Amino acid sequence: MNGIHDMGGMQDMGPIQYEKGEPVFHASWEARVFAMFAATGAWRKWNLDAFRHTREVLPPDDYLRVSYYEQWLSGLLDLLVRRGLVTAAEIESGVPAPGAARATPPLTADKIPAALLNRIHANRDVQVSPRFQTGQRVRARNINPVGHTRLPRYARGKIGTVDRDHGVFVFPDTNAHYLGEKPQHVYSVRFAARELWGEQAPQKDSVYLDMWDDYLDAA
Amino acid sequence: MAEFGYLSRQGDRMVVVENTPRVHNLIVCTLCSCYPWPVLGLPPVWYKSAPYRSRSVIDPRGVLREFGLELSTDVEVRVWDSTAELRYLVLPERPAGTAQLREEQLAALVTRDSMVGVAKVSPPQPGSFS
């Protein structure tokens, strides 16, 4: 989706605001949202790609205005309802509806360490032939899906070189929409800064992106 | 990294990129906020912010200048945009004058920012290890 989240290459976002001695969380509710992310994710009703997509579909003005953990909370509420763990009415009331089904067994604090270790990994130990070899010239496809993708706009249509093959991973464009994992190879692809940004870019500089087989054609 | 007790709870694949006198690496996630949690913890706000995410790929030298790091034009800049489930970490360049330091003294010099690539590791202050 060509959304505001895909901001690589934009130039009007202002100076970087560096906070010295920054705390991990700026308010206790942020830590709570982070814990909710881990606890609710343990039910495996969604995956990390689906979670990322909830932030991408925020209206652009909201995306830029609200804080990071507000984006997370909004995404979690969306997933909790959409994936059937709670209803919109229960979120509104803050209590379970009378007779609502309970998720069993309950996820208690003592189970959290094991649940964290049990996270769904994105790499897959399956035999899939790579479509490209290290050193090969490739062109990033010019795709503009309305759903989730990890191919940033600034790389589409550009030519790069396969730097290394990282093995087989689930494909976010389908996985985010529960349309299957479509496991395939992921490569680091080196794009010259001049290929991406034109002749004013320094000649030796480059940007490396992780690219799935489905994002690439031979060049 | 496992030798030092940094086990990835997330199971993320880590990729370490080495800074040298000739090459400077910088880590970013332009699409969201991917960051090597198991080693560096949760990312600071600036790493997740629009200014850093947007400009790191198009003007890394300008971004580094904002962090107070001016790179010579003969240094090659490599930006790593974390678009997949691989987590990047910069191995900072060893500062001059540290040949005699022990492992824990060297470790004390390394900062989070230097492992993201927005800073170099500074040499020890005079007398700090006396």
Give how many domains chain A has, as a whole number.
2
ipTM of the complex: 0.95
Q: How far is A108 from chain B (nearest CA, A)?
A: 19
Please check whether residue A112 lies inside any domain of the structure.
yes
In a domain, A18, yes or no: no
Q: Quick one: average pLDDT of B68-90?
A: 97
- For residues A98 and A147, membership in a common domain is answered with no
* Burial bucket for residue A83 (CB in 10 Å: 0-12, 13-18, 19+): middle
CATH number at residue A35: 1.10.472.20
Tell me: do A160 and A88 sit in the same domain. Answer: no
| Among A68, A89, A117, residue at a domain's last position | A117
| Highest mean pLDDT, choosing among A100-114, B9-23, B112-126 | B112-126
B46/A contact by beta carbon, under 8 A: yes
Whether A176 is in a domain gets the answer yes
d(CA B3, CA A108) in angstroms, rounded, equals 31
B53 touches chain A (CB under 8 A): yes
- pTM, entire model: 0.95
CB < 8 Å to A212, chain B: 84
Per-residue confidence (pLDDT) for residue B125, from 0 to 100: 79
CATH code (residue A172): 2.30.30.50
- Using the predicted structure, report yes or no on whether residue A126 has a pLDDT greater than 80: yes
B33 given a catalytic annotation: yes
Q: Given a cut of 70, is residue A117 above it in pLDDT? A: no
Residue B129 has pLDDT above 60, yes or no: no
User: How many other C-beta atoms can be found within 10 angstroms of the C-beta atom of residue A200?
Assistant: 7
Cβ separation B58–A11 shorter than 8 A: yes
Average of pLDDT values for B40-56?
97
Of all residues in chain A, the one with the smallest CA distance to B111 is: A21
Is there a single domain that holds both residue A55 and residue A100? yes
Residues in chain B within 8 Å Cβ distance of A5: 31-32
Cβ contacts of residue B48 below 8 Å, gap of 6+?
Answer: A68, B33
**B78–A150 CB contact, under 8 Å:** no
Q: Which domains does chain B have, with CATH numbers?
A: 13-116 (3.90.330.10)
Q: Is residue A153 part of a domain?
A: yes
d(CA B95, CA B42): 26
Q: How confident is the model at residue B107 (pLDDT cuts 50, 70, 90)?
A: very high
Residue A133 DSSP symbol: -
What's the confidence (pLDDT) of residue A115? Answer: 76
User: Is beta strand A206-212 parallel, antiparallel or unpaired with respect to A216-218?
Assistant: unpaired
Instruction: Give the C-alpha separation, B48 to A212, whole Å.
Output: 23
Residues across chain B: 130
A150/B83 Cβ within 8 A: yes
Nearest to B31 among A26, A150, A188 (CB): A150
When pLDDT is cut at 50, 70 and 90, the band that residue A108 belongs to is confident
Place of tokens 């500062």: B95
Measured CA distances, A16 to A110, B11, B31 (Å): 40, 30, 17
* Residue A64 sits in the same domain as residue A107: yes
Domain that holds residue A188: 137-218
* A12: in domain: no
| Pair (A88, A153) in one structural domain | no
A3 in a structural domain: no
Q: Using the beta-carbon criterion (under 8 Å), do A117 and B9 form an inter-chain contact?
A: yes
